[in-house]
Structure 1
């Protein structure tokens, strides 16, 4: 689903009470005490945006029974909390870019979205009219340019807008917005009226500032008092404002289509160079500031998604205001690093487009730094619930770093060196505090991140960072090579295997896996225990009481078996595969003879069989070539042909992964 169709299908559902006809109240000409109303629609984290109108009366006058009866006929009753009802966020496979980003959230796993509360606009409006943003009880005189409907609909509210209204002792400035005025603004915006754009932006700014309880130096001319009007005003802005702005200041074709990449050319179109920019600069800046305020203070996920969709339409215009660009980037980074999964995906897409649209080195450097530090802060604790979010940040940050490889090299050099300094201090002074600076989730996730970045973005620019990173990872494994830290060892080895497979740089990780098989915790007899196998994906070490249990041994052997298969299958096409696997075969055969656990013997025997079968095939194919090992080009061509053919080891590893995924 593209960005435009999401809004066209009706993101915001109309309030139930707005569809009911309002009862007309006949006001008697009598001197009654003026009541001051205070409406503060506060948005909470729940699914409602509430406004609590408080009524204060003069202490000298009391309301007559007739007046009380008339007040009971009012459509907005005292003490009722209005709500802005928003349809649930809806994912669609049509939005290719969003689907790819969402797939990174759980590292390839499907994300099931709840459809409760979704509004199917096609079923409701089959005549093509879409969502009715106007109140059914409003004036039906919408002919002309929409100005009469706006003025006529506001006649009933003028008397109320002229009354004294208290807000902490101060009178709220401006005219009370009514449903009729919103209808008029919709008509004006549909005709791309600049006057309507200024008025609706002013009204939304006033409403959001009162909702968020934030003081503003800007003077607003409108005052939103009714929650139904607040609901209609937000829907009006999110559906029409960006279309008016794009009509007067057209965007490049790639930006209108929602493309993330802007074609590099000497002359890049900018809104500031357009003839209409001086007319729209002030109102666009005010509207973007209002959207930023909404992202900062409104924490309902569906409403945040709606605002982020609107922000994506205006990213090119946001880049024209350096201060707003800096604040928006900071807020998007916060949303990207925590919260609802759909909010995080939309925030990531917005950040990526901002980075693609801005070639400023200083801005990109600050954005890279903010995102990396936010990733490090939010990866300090890992659990079943937080692991998908951490994996999403890791995948998306690797994609962000691919935008500017020279700048990525500078960041990688600084942060990999920082990891190396921490490791060297821990190795020279093995105190508990120094070791804890290395053996923690922040350090491990940072190492895994840079392994992924170098693997996904491997070029000659980043190649010098591979060797120091490998040394840091291997040094981390050797810092405390005890059985309690086998989970940490497996995390590091898995990151190295992933990077090695994508960069074609051989990393000797098999020796560190074979060391596990020689551990006394794996060879010794186990104690009877009903405990389940520890989840190695969310732990770095195990307690001493777990070391001698069968569950721990099963988990260790499964991880060694998995990592050896992954490592050897990635080199099953290599011309030197028989020599590469020779020490591995000797070691695992020795372990298979000594162990007395039938399950372990069966797993190791399967590994030995498939490795020997692949090795025999390589030797047979190698004996038929006419070139020598010194002919590098011919060797590379031969290995490229072998890579296209799936070896016996690769087929076995693929089937084994499928079985493991079904069991999980």
Structure 2
């Protein structure tokens, strides 16, 4: 208080003696309030409210914990259901989750117990991860079948307030473990147990966000069981929580896939395939909301393609012939193909235009792998939607562009067109490249013909491809390739004869769409000749790989 204020107070006290009494009463009341605040803080601390570092007041603070002490606590909590012992266990669990972290040794909290050895560490970790969810459900009165709403209804109740800091401590410590540990088995087990406790994240939005981030990271960068466990957590989060959570989960996983696809080699393609399939499954939870993301993404793909088509600049073309671009197309092709019973025609036609554009943009032999992927995508879309897509001309272009004379130069390494997008120049003169081009074109044509092999218009559909196949067969001097193409030719011509004979016996007109669609549906069985031929072609392809 400044000197001028003091003078004013003194003058007021002299003029009005009652003011002095009022002032003294206010000072006493203020002191009483301060005393009450201090007593409240002490009581709150004694009631087990966790401190800033996530620990609880405990008799074991700063002590060395051994295996016998931990086993005793575990037995008391599990069998006698004593809530008073749980804070000590949670402090021990927090220390276990921080075990080995630099901060544990540099800035160790005096309230944190010390883990004696690895045996004690494993005992604490296994008990809390295995029993934590059951304990918290028991103490809070929530059944195993309860949903998020049940936890949110508890907010504000005395029962919830007693267990809330403990649940938060458990979740926080486990999230730290997920960020700290490098052992995949521990990470997978911790994720599995957190998945069981997902509903407890509802009252803690910040922890909810952290879990999503770490789950997305482990899903994208991990592998095997770790990625699977991470995805199950993400899937349940997207299903259990609100639409805002679903949208965030979808966007984060989408960005993670694209980020993972920037650098791709043959060893990680299987993992990217897993990421793609799991992302499509995630999209299928709320398909209408996923369509918004898919539409924006496909529009961006179209803009990148238009820029490359107009400028033909190296940078623009490089963006198109990249794994990031290819994986993005593959995502939406899979989404449309898997959800074939849904109305996704807007996405279907948009992605078809992009794929045909990409397939036509690159004409050189070095880009055959990308072109083959485009044809396969179109085959998948045509098969799932039942819409005819002119694929045969694209596949025949590859066949015509491949060398027709036998190349004597052997390849220094195995040519696998499925693991690359652009071939090195020295591969173009190898015998393996020549064979792979022909085999791949035949496989794609077989898949295309298979879909329409029993359609009433098959003879017209196959007329031009048959002519071009005969031309390749006549000019090729490689006997093994001639045999492969001749076998396809024979099967197509036999199928043309079959359809033509059956067409002569029909009594309906071309305008009768229902009858035309039902044409030869009985003959289209697993033992049909063309189906058997296609199976043998794909079996040979699998054997080559």
Q: Does 1:353 align with 2:236?
A: yes
Residue of structure 2 equivalent to 1:616: 497
Residue of structure 2 equivalent to 1:407: 289
Match of 1:584 among 459, 465, 469: 465
Alpha-carbon displacement from aligned partner over 1:275-319 (angstroms, at most 9, x marks no partner): 643332221111011111111010111111111121121112223
Give, in whole Å, the separation in 2 of the partners of 1:300 and 1:221: 24
Q: Could you tell me whether the CA contact under 8 Å between 1:565 and 1:653 is conserved in 2?
A: yes
Matches of residues 433-444 of structure 1 in structure 2 within 5 Å? 433-444=315-326
Residue of structure 2 equivalent to 1:326: 209
Give, in whole Å, the separation in 1 of the partners of 2:434 and 2:543: 22
Post-superposition offset of 1:181:
2.0
Residue of structure 2 equivalent to 1:279: 162
Give, in whole Å, the separation in 1 of the partners of 2:456 and 2:82: 70
Q: Could you tell me whether the CA contact under 8 Å between 1:423 and 1:472 is conserved in 2?
A: yes
Q: Does 1:238 align with 2:126?
A: no
Post-superposition offset of 1:405:
0.9
Task: Classify the secondary structure of the residue corresponding to 1:324.
Answer: helix
Match of 2:194 among 287, 292, 311: 311
Post-superposition offset of 1:637:
4.1
Give, in whole Å, the separation in 1 of the partners of 2:253 and 2:508: 50
* Residues 505/197 of structure 1: CA separation in 2 closer, same or farther (3 Å cut): farther
Give, in whole Å, the separation in 2 of the partners of 1:198 and 1:364: 34
Q: Could you tell me whether the CA contact under 8 Å between 1:533 and 1:554 is conserved in 2?
A: no
For structure 2, the residue ranges without an aligned partner over 5 or more in a row are 1-57
Give, in whole Å, the separation in 1 of the partners of 2:99 and 2:517: 67
Give, in whole Å, the separation in 2 of the partners of 1:270 and 1:616: 67
Match of 1:208 among 97, 106, 111: 97
* Residues 425/210 of structure 1: CA separation in 2 closer, same or farther (3 Å cut): same
Alpha-carbon displacement from aligned partner over 1:352-371 (angstroms, at most 9, x marks no partner): 1111112x222211111111
Alpha-carbon displacement from aligned partner over 1:418-455 (angstroms, at most 9, x marks no partner): 11111100111011111111111111111111111111
Give, in whole Å, the separation in 2 of the partners of 1:193 and 1:648: 72
Q: Could you tell me whether the CA contact under 8 Å between 2:276 and 2:331 is conserved in 1?
A: yes
Count of paired positions: 482
Residue of structure 1 equivalent to 2:63: 175
Q: Does 1:494 align with 2:382?
A: no
Residue of structure 2 equivalent to 1:503: 385
Residue of structure 1 equivalent to 2:39: none
Match of 1:199 among 78, 88, 100: 88
- Which structure is richer in relative contact order (CA contacts within 8 A, separation 6 or more)? 1
Alpha-carbon displacement from aligned partner over 1:6-60 (angstroms, at most 9, x marks no partner): xxxxxxxxxxxxxxxxxxxxxxxxxxxxxxxxxxxxxxxxxxxxxxxxxxxxxxx
Give, in whole Å, the separation in 1 of the partners of 2:295 and 2:233: 27
Alpha-carbon displacement from aligned partner over 1:506-530 (angstroms, at most 9, x marks no partner): 22111111112222x4235535335
Larger C-alpha radius of gyration, 1 or 2? 2
Q: Output the TM-score relative to the length of structure 2.
A: 0.82
For structure 1, the residue ranges without an aligned partner over 5 or more in a row are 1-160, 163-171, 256-261, 263-267
Match of 1:247 among 138, 141, 146: 138
Alignment root-mean-square deviation, CA: 2.6
Q: Does 1:543 align with 2:434?
A: no
* Residues 552/176 of structure 1: CA separation in 2 closer, same or farther (3 Å cut): same
* Residues 224/532 of structure 1: CA separation in 2 closer, same or farther (3 Å cut): closer
More helix by share: 2
* Residues 529/221 of structure 1: CA separation in 2 closer, same or farther (3 Å cut): closer
Give, in whole Å, the separation in 2 of the partners of 1:270 and 1:632: 54
